[in-house]
Amino acid sequence: MKKILGLVGVLLLVLVSVLIFNTLGNKPNNNQQLVTLDSLPQNAIEHMSAAIQLKTETPNDDYQFDTATFMQYRKFIEVSYPLIHKSLHRTIVDSFNYIYEWKGTDTSILPMVLMAHYDVVPVEESAVRLWHAKPYGGEIKENYIWGRGVLDDKSSMISILEATEAQLQKGFQPKQTILLCFGADEESSGKGATAVVKYFKDQHKRFDLVVDEGGEISTEDNQSIKAPIAAIGVGEKGYVTLVLTAQKAGGHSSIPANHTAIDILSRAITKVNDNPIPTKLTTPIKAYLKSISAYNDNFFEKMALSNLWLFESRIVKSLSEQPTSNALIRTTLVPTVFNSGVRDNVIPTFATAYINSRILPGQSSKDVFDYVQKVIDDTNIKITYYKNYMTEPSPTTDVNSKYYKRVEKVVRSVVKDVVVAPMLMVGATDSRNYREVSDGVVNFTPLTDAKGYHGIDERMLISDFQKCFNFYTLLIKGE
């Protein structure tokens, strides 16, 4: 007995030592490169304001551009960035998508791509009165530039153009060829980016690093981490919507049968809600937890995060309790549309509901379909894919790759004392197309706690504009 107790004691001691060793050995990465950061060029803010005043609202489904405004925007870019238009070669794809090629001195290196889109989502007419600035006024006040599109995604486009123009002014020529790719319909069909990538594929082009919008910096809700966290997108979740239809002969509401189409469908939806798809810690999220854990001030949290082999299930449980973190560890399912009935005294024959799903890497739209079918387990419910439209989850960029490391290094130079961590993107961007021509697609813009995306009071801190400018400048300079 004594022997067994002794053995248990030794094992416990070993366990505690391993836990503490892993926790204390998990040290923050404080490698910060000291580089000189240029100030925003004199006209930059004026240019951003002018860009917002051009109402480049996203074309609707049938791909109708407001040609006059999009042409005006082209003219504005040509006039504001004369050196770019003198030195870079521009190709126009599908009317309003642009590729600018800046030839590097060493053509043996694959080109880098800096991406952005300049179409914006419309402003809701009824919400205009809730804005604290004119949505298309391009106003500058309280250290912000205000207006639809200033974050999404003219912040990137104008910063890329400013950084390029400023370097051209200095007579700089990059070693690596740089392509600037600007899309005109990211917020709707995204057909522009597809056409641009097809254009590249037809020429058998491959690329090195590709940087697009997506990941950002957060300083709020970082819980036990005091530093800002820069989340670099390394992959995107997939997207599919399922249509559930229940059919049951309706009739007069005065003599109802046991179960109506509405009852059958409601039961099916309850089953889906009660049985979420099981959680899964994917590689990017494991890497995210590892990256942020070193900065955690709470010893016990840090210990758990530094010892995933032992605490994974507890961590997953706690992540699943918040909607934002839950979305990172699970293929989500949510009912978004419910339709049935025509009159208050008629029992309807049909009831339909849509279930929208965002799919984790490693799973597929077919997996979602099969799972929902199995959970509902009711032959009265017909399941189909909505409009046959779906995107599978993207491949993910390796966090140990040179692409990720390069962006990480630049972010550390631009933002002081920042925690850099990989992130899985829950929405889709134009860059997903580029995964066909590059292994290094990364999503990041150094915007801090940005607010107003697609909603009211979209605005960008002027200091963030400065950061974006520095971010692209360092990428261009290859630092």
By CB under 5 A, name the binding residues for Zn ion. Answer: 152-153
Helices and strands counted in the chain (H then E): 14, 17
Both tokens assigned to 252: 């007069």
Catalytic residue among 94, 185, 186, 430: 186
Q: Which is nearer to Zn ion, 117 or 330 (CB)?
A: 117
Active site includes 38? no
SS3 16: helix
Closest CA to 470 of 32, 39, 33: 39
Asked, as a colleague might, if the bond just before 153 is cis with ω within 30 of 0, I would say: yes
Closest CA to 478 of 88, 105, 84, 41: 105
Q: Is-contact 404 422, C-beta < 8 A?
A: yes
Q: Which is nearer to Zn ion, 216 or 301 (CB)?
A: 216
Active site includes 125? no
Q: Which is nearer to Zn ion, 98 or 295 (CB)?
A: 98
Q: Is-contact 166 41, C-beta < 8 A?
A: yes
Cβ neighbour number for residue 92 with a 10 Å cutoff: 10
Q: How far apart are CA 424 and CA 331, in angstroms?
A: 12
Min dist. Cβ of residue 117 to Zn ion (A): 6
Min dist. Cβ of residue 153 to Zn ion (A): 4
Min dist. Cβ of residue 428 to Zn ion (A): 10
What's the CA dihedral at 390, 391, 392, 398 to 10 degrees? -170
Min dist. Cβ of residue 123 to Zn ion (A): 15
Longest dimension (CA), the chain: 88
Q: How far apart are CA 112 and CA 287, in angstroms?
A: 25
Q: Which is nearer to Zn ion, 152 or 165 (CB)?
A: 152
Q: Which is nearer to Zn ion, 152 or 301 (CB)?
A: 152
Q: Which is nearer to Zn ion, 153 or 208 (CB)?
A: 153
Q: Is-contact 468 237, C-beta < 8 A?
A: no
The radius of gyration of the chain from alpha carbons, rounded to an integer in Å, stands at 26
Q: How far apart are CA 461 and CA 465, in angstroms?
A: 7
Q: Which is nearer to Zn ion, 94 or 152 (CB)?
A: 152
Min dist. Cβ of residue 475 to Zn ion (A): 19
- Which helix (DSSP H) or strand (DSSP E) does residue 304 occupy? helix 299-306
Catalytic residue among 57, 119, 152, 212: 119
* Distance, CA of 391 to chain centre: 14
Min dist. Cβ of residue 432 to Zn ion (A): 12
Q: How far apart are CA 183 and CA 203, in angstroms?
A: 19
Q: Is-contact 215 231, C-beta < 8 A?
A: yes
Give me the active site residues, please. Answer: 119, 186
